[in-house]
């Protein structure tokens, strides 16, 4: 029995990093990638336009709406959502291959996407990034300045709703401004610890 339990601990985890718009999910994922951790970071498929400095296949897989529709039809997406006028989806095969190779899979998802993954794979590891308070979250969204006024209002309303969904997540990590490396250290401790559970989360894809 001991051998079996120890072997189970080496099986890869399906890890979702989520949280409301404005908490800094992208920055946290970016720093995790910079550290060259032995994870597979999922590259999301999206219908939105490529931005300057973005690389197709690295930052996102950029597809047309027709291509995206085809991916849905063929069941090629693990989950997908319509967010802020664009479609985003997680390529199923990419995740399967990474898990088969034994690597932990890390994906960034909005709260809606995380909820879908929780329903499909109850054994996924869900980490919720948040600010210290709702006030701080709104403040951060305002400071971004990249938004049209009507978009900002929509994002704030959505973020407030998303904060209320924290209950379905396994871990809650506050991501304070200027302390990005602490946040990444905490996420690493969580992933590390999860591999030592007597009964680790084993995902069947």
State the Cα–Cα distance between residues 91 and 42, nearest whole angstrom: 8
Nearest approach, Cβ of residue 52 and a second copy (Å): 35
Nearest approach, Cβ of residue 200 and a second copy (Å): 9
Number of residues that bind a second copy (CB under 8 A): 31
Binding string to a second copy for residues 119 to 158, with x set by CB under 8 A, is what? ---------x-x-xxx------------------------
Question: Quick check: 164 binds a second copy (CB under 8 A)?
Answer: yes
71 CB contacts (<8 Å, ≥6 apart)? 45, 63, 77, 80, 89, 91
Question: Quick check: 39 binds a second copy (CB under 8 A)?
Answer: no
Which residues between 60 and 119 bind a second copy (CB under 8 A)? none
Closest CA to 42 of 81, 2, 95: 95
Kind and range of the H or E run holding 190:
helix 180-194
Nearest approach, Cβ of residue 97 and a second copy (Å): 28
**Structure tokens given for 196:** 């030592």
DSSP state of 58: T
Binding string to a second copy for residues 3 to 22, with x set by CB under 8 A, is what? x-xx--x-------------
According to DSSP, the residues that pair with 97 across neighbouring strands are none
Whether 35 is a known active-site residue: answer no
Question: Quick check: 180 binds a second copy (CB under 8 A)?
Answer: no
The answer to whether the CB of 203 falls within 8 A of the CB of 14 is yes
Question: Quick check: 37 binds a second copy (CB under 8 A)?
Answer: no
Closest CA to 200 of 116, 124, 95, 121: 124
Whether 51 is a known active-site residue: answer yes
- Interface residue list for a second copy (CB under 8 A): 1-3, 5-6, 9, 128, 130, 132-134, 163-164, 166-167, 169-174, 186, 188-190, 192-194, 196-198
């Amino acid at each position: 029995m001991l051998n079996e339990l120890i072997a189970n601990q080496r099986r890869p985890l399906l890890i979702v990093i989520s949280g409301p718009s404005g908490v800094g999910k992208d920055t946290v994922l970016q720093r995790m990638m910079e550290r060259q951790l032995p994870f597979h970071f999922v590259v999301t498929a999206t219908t939105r336009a490529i931005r300057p400095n973005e690389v197709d296949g690295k930052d996102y897989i950029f597809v047309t709406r027709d291509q995206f529709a085809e991916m849905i039809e063929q069941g090629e997406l693990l989950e997908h959502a319509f967010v802020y006028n664009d479609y985003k989806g997680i390529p199923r095969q990419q995740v399967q291959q990474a898990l088969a190779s034994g690597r932990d899979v890390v994906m960034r998802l909005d709260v809606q996407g995380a909820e879908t993954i929780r329903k499909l794979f109850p054994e996924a590891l869900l980490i919720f990034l948040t600010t210290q308070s709702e006030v701080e979250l709104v403040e951060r969204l305002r400071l971004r300045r990249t938004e049209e006024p009507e978009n900002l209002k929509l994002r704030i309303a959505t973020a407030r709703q998303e904060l209320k969904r924290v209950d379905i997540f396994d871990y809650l990590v506050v991501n304070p401004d200027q302390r990005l490396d602490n946040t990444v250290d905490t996420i690493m401790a969580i992933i590390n610890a999860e591999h030592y559970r007597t009964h680790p989360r084993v995902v069947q894809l």
